Amino acid sequence: MNDADPTTAEEPVVPDIDLPSDAFDAVLDALGDLAPDDRLRFEGFAVGRDPGAEDAYVLETAGDDPRTGLSERDLHAALDDRAPRVTDWYVFERVVGEFGPRRAFLRWIEDADGATVATRYAALAEGIERAWGQLRITATVTDRGERRYEVRHADDAGVPRAELTAHDDPLDARDVVKLDEKGRYRPLKTAPTLHSGWVFPELGPRDAYELVETVYPATVANWHREREGDLDVTHWREAMARQSGIYGVIKTWDRGEGYEHVNWVAEACCDDSQCLKRREWQYDDETDLDVDGGDGLFPCREPCSVVVSAARRWTRLESEQPRTYEFELTPSEKEQLEAVVDAVADGRIDEIREADTKEGANRYRARFLRAKLFDDAGNLGGVPTDPDDAE
């Protein structure tokens, strides 16, 4: 049955929806729990128990006289005529359930707090696409008003399903997220290194949410907290103060003598090219970092274990005193060393073709530099790292 949106001049093409018996039963259950004067509200109409007749119902539609004395059969017919709005209520009130991150996320996917049911059902019939990190989520509606979600890697947009490895169980995502494209372990789940080639073709609302939570743990919860104005952020200094045991060493690096070192940490680890979260933590409550937090959809509320562990390494390295070394380099060699560091830091090494000897980080160029400048012990320019090692 069609249920056109009464509020728009150009009516969206709403797909035909049959009212499933579980949705009707859920309405009857809800009515059974209502006080006689209460109403069960849907978009644009409400139903309730008719206080004037036993086992009868009332239907109230904006702008019309109420219809009273409806039998269960009449009520079913009336709700079937409005099946999109009834199934929409059923999906979010009964299938998705309680208020919280899951419900907010699934409603966000189809803009359920902004668009009318008719607009959304018309869009769902075509497929509503949303990005979440590297995930591409496509929401659709069945002819019974149920939601279905297809989730795949954003890089696989447009790839026929048959060419992707299909999974039904959202927990299969634990294997999907473990390794990157090259088979390396992914210590940071929000790093943009999710491998492609898989699809979860037809998930229900709860499974779709569980899949997203498995791929990007706690991202929906923190996104939801932020939307509710409730995101509790733990800044760097506070987070470091909490470190104990071996990680306590970081506190020695954080002596309150400026925060340049924290800028370097954030630039190294939290940049959009390295992590899909938007860094909301700063140096402390009063001191923002100079580097940008990024454009990620979901926030990062505290330094993660990867950052803490890397900072611990840097703490050790940064405790060394600088020394002056003397090397002789041609201008091109100096620039080449800079190009090598840049290419490694940006993860571009694999993109540099063997034949492209214009690139400083080209493998042959690097091998030539090593052959020319390193001694047998691997010292640049034959200069030992520790002067005591000099013969």
* C-alpha torsion sign, points 299, 260, 291, 192: negative
Residue 304 or 361 having the CB closest to ligand SF4: 304
Per CB under 6 A, does 279 bind ligand SF4? yes
Amino acid at 227: R
Which candidate, 93, 78, 88, places its Cα nearest to that of 111?
Answer: 88
Residue 167 or 278 having the CB closest to ligand SF4: 278
Least separation in angstroms between residue 248's CB and ligand SF4 is 19
Least separation in angstroms between residue 172's CB and ligand SF4 is 24
Per CB under 6 A, does 275 bind ligand SF4? yes
* Stretch of 24-32, 135-143, 237-245, 274-282 contacting ligand SF4, by CB under 6 A: 274-282
Whole-angstrom distance, CA of residue 138 vs CA of residue 203: 10
Residue 164 or 306 having the CB closest to ligand SF4: 306
b/e per residue, 339-365, with b = 16+ CB within 10 A? Answer: bbeebeeeeeeeebeeeeeebbbbeeb
Residue 136 or 277 having the CB closest to ligand SF4: 277
Least separation in angstroms between residue 362's CB and ligand SF4 is 30
* Among 306, 329, 373, 383, contact with ligand SF4 (rule: CB under 6 A): 306
Residue 88 or 302 having the CB closest to ligand SF4: 302
Characterise 39 by phi-psi region: left (phi > 0), alpha (psi -120 to 50), beta (else): beta
> C-alpha 96: how far from its chain's center?
19
Residue 199 or 275 having the CB closest to ligand SF4: 275
Q: Site size for ligand SF4, by CB under 6 A?
A: 12
* Stretch of 272-280, 312-320, 345-353, 373-381 contacting ligand SF4, by CB under 6 A: 272-280
* Among 203, 304, 337, 339, contact with ligand SF4 (rule: CB under 6 A): 304
Per CB under 6 A, does 134 bind ligand SF4? no
Per CB under 6 A, does 300 bind ligand SF4? yes
* Among 95, 141, 199, 270, contact with ligand SF4 (rule: CB under 6 A): 270
x-marked contacts with ligand SF4 along 157-196 as a string, rule CB under 6 A: -------------------------------x-x------
Residue matched to tokens 């050790």: 316
Whole-angstrom distance, CA of residue 230 vs CA of residue 228: 5
Whole-angstrom distance, CA of residue 220 vs CA of residue 207: 14
Which candidate, 291, 255, 242, 300, places its Cα nearest to that of 271?
Answer: 291
* Among 269, 311, 366, 369, contact with ligand SF4 (rule: CB under 6 A): 269
Which candidate, 143, 115, 137, 164, places its Cα nearest to that of 15?
Answer: 143
* Stretch of 40-48, 163-171, 195-203, 270-278 contacting ligand SF4, by CB under 6 A: 270-278
Per CB under 6 A, does 205 bind ligand SF4? no
* C-alpha torsion sign, points 200, 205, 206, 211: positive
Phi, psi for 333 (deg, rounded to 5) = -70, -40
Per CB under 6 A, does 82 bind ligand SF4? no
Per CB under 6 A, does 220 bind ligand SF4? no
Catalogue the E-assigned strands of 306-375.
Answer: none
b/e per residue, 142-177, with b = 16+ CB within 10 A? Answer: eeebbbbbbbbbbebeeeeeeebeebeebeebeebb
Which candidate, 153, 137, 166, 164, places its Cα nearest to that of 194?
Answer: 153
* Stretch of 2-10, 152-160, 246-254, 271-279 contacting ligand SF4, by CB under 6 A: 271-279
Site of interaction with ligand SF4 (CB under 6 A): 188, 190, 269-270, 275, 277, 279, 300, 303-304, 306-307
